[in-house]
Amino acid sequence: MDTVINGYRRRWWKEAVVYQVYPRAFYDSNGDGIGDLEGLRLKLPYIKGLGVDVIWLSPHFDSPNADNGYDIRDYRKVMAEFGTMDDFDAVLTEAHALGLRLIIDLVVNHTSDEHAWFTESRSSQTNEKRDYYIWRPGNDGPPNDWTSIFGGSAWTLDAATGDYYLHLFDPKQPDLNWENPKVRAQVYALMRFWLDKGVDGFRMDVIPFISKDQEFSDLPAEHAARPQFVYANGPRVHEFLQEMRSEALAPYDTMTVGEAFGITPQQVPNFVDERHGELDMVFQFGAVEVDRGADGRWVPWKLADLKAVFSRQEKQLDRHCWPTVFFSNHDNPRIVSRYGDDGPEWRVKSAKTMAALLLTMKGTPFIYQGDELGMTNFPFSDISQFNDIWARNAYRDEVESGRYSVADFLMNQNHLSRDHARTPMQWTSGTNAGFTTGTPWLSVNPNYREINAEDVGDGSIYAWYADLIHLRRSHPALVYGDYLDLMPDHPRLFAYRRTTEAEDFLILLNFGPDEQTFQFPMNFPPGDIVLGNYPAPANGSEPLRGWEARIYRL
């Protein structure tokens, strides 16, 4: 077997397709309304049926759930609502038996304020754990003007000692002090705990935030609206990640993917260049930000901007770096509602077109649960329908402050809410979409009678994902091939090639209901269509029909 293809060193995680599970919303096995690990175990064959290689499990640790598990109280315990450590072990064993690897979510920029380290840390100025977190005296108010990503000041005054602690997210998510070598040693130990159990790696939550500039200067005006660009990429972040590699990851065969929140495309190679020994891959935010304005609120998006993300990635990452591709996750709306057309006429076709983009692009693709069914956004009409801490804080900041009307708030959330992705998986057309026999913790999308996993046969979106994954696996060019955008400015047609010396693929995707013609150059006749979401046209150069996706082998 070649060890290098098209200049890239072969790695299992470069060839893998990943499926993300948000356990709370996946499948409830015991009727308490909350998805759980036994539910995941029961549905492993469903995941395997897609042909994916890896499951990324969103946090399953003990947590008071201020941010649905992204606030961890005990890194070595399973969240009681999700089950027990035995349930976790059963998921891991059965996943491995099915040939699926499992990566877990490492949330170590912050803990829960209910973590024992923080309880001790806040108890006095002199206790042994004081320096596990970031405490500063106030000066007639917070130590600086940093704001939380979830709104409000990033500092909270703690009555016990009269000092402020830093939380770049919610007050219930205090930031760990990575300057303290004992904190780092604790993190590496908990990583080894899970690696020794057999997990295959980590998705790392907001990992670029772990190193803070110790000056703690006020935000420069140009970053006030998007402070993540100040919080990320601190002075010691690369030192810490290299230390993490040697102290925790090195002896194991893992895959790591960091959430590069606040990292510019120019900074990405420093995190993922394989010669540096830091992360294998990161999630860049380009493809989920084309519809966000400078203030983070929703704006209409353009296909040319989405295309530009991938051309930039191809230019900026050399053969020592490896990209990821994703259009959704637990923090984002549904793909088909955001970039496709979720109305009855085009939902299936456009969900398939987006899947074709995801699975023929260069980079390890991440599928988010439910997208393989074409699940759609939820029609929110009232603040009471939201569970997400970001939405609830935004309501306070935007509406209660009088800056925006309720209608503006709902418009924005109906486009961008994180809860769109968190409504329960739609398994059946029965009560509660077959997710639970109890009362679901978050409302099921009312369209579950039409959209559910009862239909995974021929012609379904699920079957199309499986076909695409099979095609990708069969052709190295779809993994390692060069990427070339043939029409960067066309507003509706996305046309690109994936090529190695041995293979040449042309992908044509129509992003809209109207016919589009692709002008095949003379020296470039249409080859065979190897996969398409319509019956094959009589002639490969015929115009593309509404939301048609065609993959040609030239």
Catalytic site residues?
A: 205, 259
Q: How far is CA 447 from CA 70, 225, 320, 442, in A?
A: 29, 36, 45, 15
> Which is closer to Ca ion, CB of 85 or CB of 189?
85
Report d(CA 464, CA 357) in Å as an integer. Answer: 12
Strand segments (E) across 241-304: 255-259, 281-283
Q: Which does 397 bind (CB under 5 to 8 A by kind): Ca ion, ligand TEU, none?
A: none
**200 contacts which partner out of ligand TEU, Ca ion, none, CB within 5 to 8 A by kind?**
none
Torsions phi, psi for 8 (to 5 deg): -95, 140
By CB under 6 A, name the one of 149, 442, 471, 487 that touches ligand TEU: 149
- Is residue 169 near ligand TEU by the rule CB under 6 A? yes
Single residue of 34, 176, 249, 410 touching Ca ion by CB under 5 A: 34
Hey, which residues between 239 and 298 contact ligand TEU (CB under 6 A)? 259, 261
Q: Which is nearer to Ca ion, 75 or 435 (CB)?
A: 435
If one asks whether residue 331 binds Ca ion (CB under 5 A), the answer comes out as: no
CB of 535 to ligand TEU, least distance (A): 39
Candidates 8, 13, 36, 375; binder of Ca ion (CB under 5 A) is: 36
Among residues 342, 236, 324, which one has the least CA distance to residue 285? 324
**Residue 487 in tokens:** 């029409």
Q: Are the C-beta atoms of residues 350 and 317 closer than 8 Å to each other?
A: no
The pair phi, psi for residue 357, each rounded to 5°, is -65, -50
For the bound state, the minimum distance from the C-beta of residue 420 to ligand TEU, rounded and expressed in Å, comes to 12
Q: Binding partner of residue 206 among Ca ion, ligand TEU, none, CB under 5 to 8 Å per kind?
A: ligand TEU
Which one of ligand TEU, Ca ion, none interacts with residue 67, CB within 5 to 8 A by kind? Answer: ligand TEU
Distances from the Cα of 169 to the Cαs of 66, 123, 161, 328, 405, in angstroms?
A: 11, 21, 22, 21, 25
The pairing of strands 324-325 and 8-9 is: unpaired
* Chain length of the chain: 554
Stretch that binds Ca ion, among 27-35, 133-141, 235-243, 525-533 (CB under 5 A): 27-35
Q: Give the nearest distance from C-beta 65 to Ca ion in angstroms.
A: 13
Closest approach of ligand TEU to the CB of residue 224, in Å: 16
Instruction: Pick the binder of ligand TEU from 36, 158, 205, 467 (CB under 6 A).
Output: 205
Give 518-526's long-range contacts (Cβ < 8 A, gap of 24+): 518/493, 518/543, 518/544, 524/554, 526/552, 526/554
What Å distances lie between residue 183 and 122, 188, 263, CA to CA?
16, 9, 24
Binding range to Ca ion, per CB under 5 A, among 28-36, 49-57, 100-108, 212-220 = 28-36
175 forms part of the interface with ligand TEU (CB under 6 A): no
Residue 84 touching Ca ion (CB under 5 A) = no
70 binds, among Ca ion, ligand TEU, none (CB under 5 to 8 A by kind): ligand TEU
Contact 448/433 with Cβ under 8 angstroms?
yes
Range 426-485, binding ligand TEU (CB under 6 A): none
Terminal Cα-to-Cα distance of the chain (whole angstroms): 24
Tell me the closest approach of the beta carbon of residue 228 to ligand TEU, in angstroms: 7
In angstroms, what is the minimal distance from the CB of 90 to Ca ion? 15
Decide if residue 30 touches Ca ion (CB under 5 A): yes
Helices (H) and strands (E) in the chain, counts: 16, 20
Q: Binding ligand TEU by CB under 6 A: which of 206, 421, 461, 507?
A: 206
Q: Which is closer to Ca ion, CB of 231 or CB of 435? A: 435
User: Which tokens sit at 204?
Assistant: 């790392």
Distances in whole angstroms, Cα of residue 222 to Cα of each of 66, 142, 206, 291: 30, 21, 21, 20
Cβ 46 to Ca ion shortest distance, Å: 17
Site map for ligand TEU, 97-136, x if CB under 6 A?
Answer: ----------x-----------------------------
> Residues in contact with ligand TEU, total (CB under 6 A)?
12
Compute the least distance from the CB of residue 445 to Ca ion, in Å. Answer: 19
DSSP state string for 183-240: HHHHHHHHHHHHHHHT--EEEETTGGGSS--TT-PPPPGGGSS-THHHHSS-TTHHHH
Quote the least distance from Cβ 93 to ligand TEU, whole Å: 27
CA triple 447-358-345, angle to 5 deg? 35
User: Which helix (H) or strand (E) is 270 found in, with range?
Assistant: helix 268-272
Site residues for ligand TEU, window 337-396 (CB under 6 A)? 390
Residue 163 in contact with Ca ion, rule: CB under 5 A? no
Binding-site member from 70, 133, 409, 427 for ligand TEU (CB under 6 A): 70
The amino acid present at 261, given as its one-letter code, is: F
Tell me which residues touch ligand TEU (CB under 6 A): 67, 70, 107, 149, 169, 205-206, 259, 261, 330-331, 390
